[in-house]
Amino acid sequence: MTCFPQLPGEPADAFEQLLLHRDFGPSRQFSQTSDVVGCSESTLRRRSQEWRWAERLADYDSVMLQQASEARTKEDFDRYKNQLETFRLEQLSRARTVGDRAEELLAMVERSVRHHLEAGTVLQGRELPSVMAAACKALEGAMNIEAAALGVAAFLESDYQG
């Protein structure tokens, strides 16, 4: 309701006084308006009753409050969306880092096995499984982190965009 219409038959000076009174906000007082427009409070009160100022201003204030509330809700949503996007990007970065470290562990195991095979030595049974388990766990962790990040991406792309 950015439009605040003049009622049919409402004098221009009464409507101008209403607009000035309106602009004082919900805590408006006739004394404030009378100081600005240069007429008595009793004249403003009489015009207020005649032209339904209280009803019109209540409607106006209600719409303005609703608009302010919606703007605040959108602002909160946009901030939350930005936080989620930042989280998603950080999670993807972590997933890549963990995945890279897991790949390095697997490459180390492969080099170690190759070295032992070339040297004709026997691998110690307790070393290989723990390194392989660590590499697999790291890969699984990287996939879980990436899945979480992709889930956030799907959420951001869904109907929750506002």
Extents of the domains making up the chain: 12-51, 73-161
- Please compute Rg for the chain using Cα positions: 35
State the CB neighbour count (10 A cutoff) for residue 145: 20
List pLDDT tens digits, range 93-121.
877 887 888 888 888 878 887 887 888 87
Q: How many Cα atoms are found within 13 Å in the side-chain-facing hemisphere of 7? A: 15
Q: String of b and e for 17-28 (b: at least 16 CB within 10 Å)?
A: bbeebbeeeeeb
For the chain, the residue count is 162
Is residue 31 packed enough to be buried (19+ CB in 10 Å), middle (13-18) or exposed (0-12)?
Answer: exposed
∠131-132-137 over CA atoms, to 5°? 100
CB 81 within 8 A of CB 91: no
Write down the pLDDT at residue 74.
Answer: 80
CB 31 within 8 A of CB 40: no
Residues in contact with 7: Cβ distance below 8 Å, sequence separation at least 6, in sequence order: 15, 51, 52
List pLDDT tens digits, range 25-43.
888 999 989 988 889 999 9
List pLDDT tens digits, range 111-160.
887 887 888 877 666 667 777 787 778 778 777 777 776 766 666 666 55
**Distance in angstroms (rounded) separating the CA atoms of residues 30 and 42:** 9
List pLDDT tens digits, range 35-91.
888 899 999 999 999 999 999 999 998 888 888 888 888 887 887 778 778 877 887
Give CA separation, 133 vs 90, 106, 124, 137, 139, in Å.
Answer: 26, 10, 15, 6, 10
CB 105 within 8 A of CB 79: no
